Amino acid sequence: MTADILIQNGRVLDPARGIDQSTPVAVKGRRIIPWEEGMEAKTTIDASGCLVTPGLIDFHAHIYERGTDSGANPDLAMLPYGVTTVVDAGSSGVSTYRSFLDRLALCRIKTKFFLHISPTGQVTHQYPELLRPERWNMEKFQEAVELAGDKLLGFKLRVSRNVVGDAGLRPLEAALELAEKFQKSLVVHVTDPPVLQSELAGRLRPGDVFCHLYHDRGNTIFENGSIPPALWEARERSVLFDCCHGSANFSFPVAEKAVEAGFLPDIISTDLNTVTWCKPPLYNLLSVLSKFLLLGVPLEKILACVTSTPARLMGEEGELGTLAPGSCADIAILRVAERPVEFVDTEGERRNGRQLVLPMATLLDGVLVWRSQELCG
């Protein structure tokens, strides 16, 4: 068989299958196919000195372009950095999701989304979203669940003090009931909550996502100097913990202490929007991955947080987040550059590192959609 594209001489890292080896990756049409000795190809890519990984998944971003104040164009903001699937985290609500879906239909990149419990979603940074469970229209939620189908992963809620106000945890309790009713996951933004993080984590269900793991505003994941048992117990019952960097939610001191304690994220995402895209301290998903290399997290664990784990949470295990034959030919070619680099967190803390993950090429559905001039062949 002749392949359409053959990627050779790269270090193939596929956490879903536990593979870390130098082996060719062959593509035919939209699928990865088994490589055979002597296989010919219409296009050959020499990935010497590069990593070949499944297309990356950014599990938390804001991509409602022109529908919110800061929605980014996902094709422009993601594809050049090896990201082939992106999940929007609550930019739309029951009053706006239809136009959001229309917008997503224009994108090449694969997309899914979480629906905000506020009817209008996270439309602006100028004022917090409306959280009034007594005004929720259950018929509209039902309609959204049915219309969006498997595009909809669940619901989103922010429990920051400036959002929930005097309502405290009542919106969280109502959101959990809503998610349970529709058998969906709930993403909870936990920056500066009105209660301890242990109390929040204790309320979450298996499959729910604790978002902004390493923030340093108000109550953090450290209580009395250590990570409380409730967070470890939440992890044991399959609550997921997302780094979710953003513009205000990643502290080096918190992350360093947590990694030293062995409390690593299940998911690494950006919280990218037009405010943070290509700007410090975030830049892009690869910059966030580079920070975890600086923290001493093994590369294979880092990649699992942006490939196999989010693919499983999306119900796409075996289709996305892997390079297994038969899977979708979404592929990232990356290079870990060895050079001095300064990183900054969202509180202005700086760290000096010597590794920076750089994009070399992106394949989406078997099509080469972005390629660096540095990649020869």
The CATH number of residue 367's host domain is 2.30.40.10
Helices 138-148 + 97-104 axis angle, to 10: 10
* pTM, to two decimals: 0.97
Which pLDDT value is given to residue 264?
A: 98
Q: Which residues is 92 bridged to in the sheet? A: none
Are residue 271 and residue 234 in the same domain, yes or no? yes
Specify if 319 maps to a domain.
no
End-to-end Cα separation, the chain, in angstroms: 21
Phi, psi angles (nearest 5°) of residue 99: -70, -30
Provide the CATH number for the domain around residue 138: 3.20.20.140
248 token code pair: 């205000």
Do the domain assignments include residue 247? yes
In a domain, 377, yes or no: no
Structural domain contains residue 221: yes
Q: How far apart are CA 74 and CA 190, in angstroms?
A: 25
Residue 236 domain-assigned (yes or no): yes
46 and 134 inside one domain: no
pLDDT of amino acid 293: 98
Same domain, 176 and 266: yes
Question: Residue-wise pLDDT tens for the chain (377 aa)?
Answer: 899 999 999 999 999 999 999 999 999 999 999 999 989 999 999 999 999 999 999 999 999 999 999 999 999 999 999 999 999 999 999 999 999 999 999 999 999 999 999 999 999 888 788 788 888 999 999 999 999 999 999 999 999 999 998 888 999 999 999 999 999 999 999 999 999 999 999 999 999 999 999 999 999 999 999 999 999 999 999 999 999 999 999 999 999 999 999 999 999 999 999 999 999 999 999 999 999 999 999 999 999 999 999 999 999 999 999 999 999 999 999 999 999 999 999 999 999 999 999 999 999 999 999 999 888 54
Asked whether the beta carbons of 12 and 301 are under 8 A apart, the reply is no
Instruction: Clarify whether residues 146 and 217 are in a common domain.
Output: yes
Statement to judge: residues 162 and 74 lie in one domain = yes
pLDDT of residue 375: 80
DSSP reduced 3-state for 3: strand
Residues 106 and 35 in one domain: no
Residue 341 maps to a domain: no
Same domain assignment for residues 75 and 139: yes
Whether residues 244 and 164 share a domain: the answer is yes
Whether 129 and 256 map to the same domain: the answer is yes
Any residues with CB less than 8 A from the CB of 133 and at least 6 apart, and which?
A: 117, 170, 171, 174, 175
CB 370 within 8 Å of CB 359: yes
CA distances for 190 relative to 15, 162, 195, 216, 246, angstroms = 28, 12, 10, 11, 13
Check if the beta carbon of residue 283 is closer than 8 Å to that of residue 318.
Answer: no
Report the Cα 155 to chain-centroid distance in Å: 15
For residue 27, the tally of other CB atoms under 10 A from its CB is: 26
- In-domain check, residue 131: yes
Same domain for 60 and 43: no
What pLDDT does 376 receive?
Answer: 55
Q: Are residues 118 and 234 in the same domain?
A: yes
Residue 233 is encoded by which pair of tokens?
Answer: 């117990």
> Domain range for residue 32?
3-53+325-336+353-371
Q: Is residue 343 part of a domain?
A: no
Number of structural domains (the chain) is 2
Say if residue 202 is in the same domain as residue 149: yes
Q: How far is it, in rounded angstroms, from Cα 144 to Cα 233? A: 33
254's CB contacts (< 8 A; 6+ apart) are: 214, 215, 216, 220, 221, 222
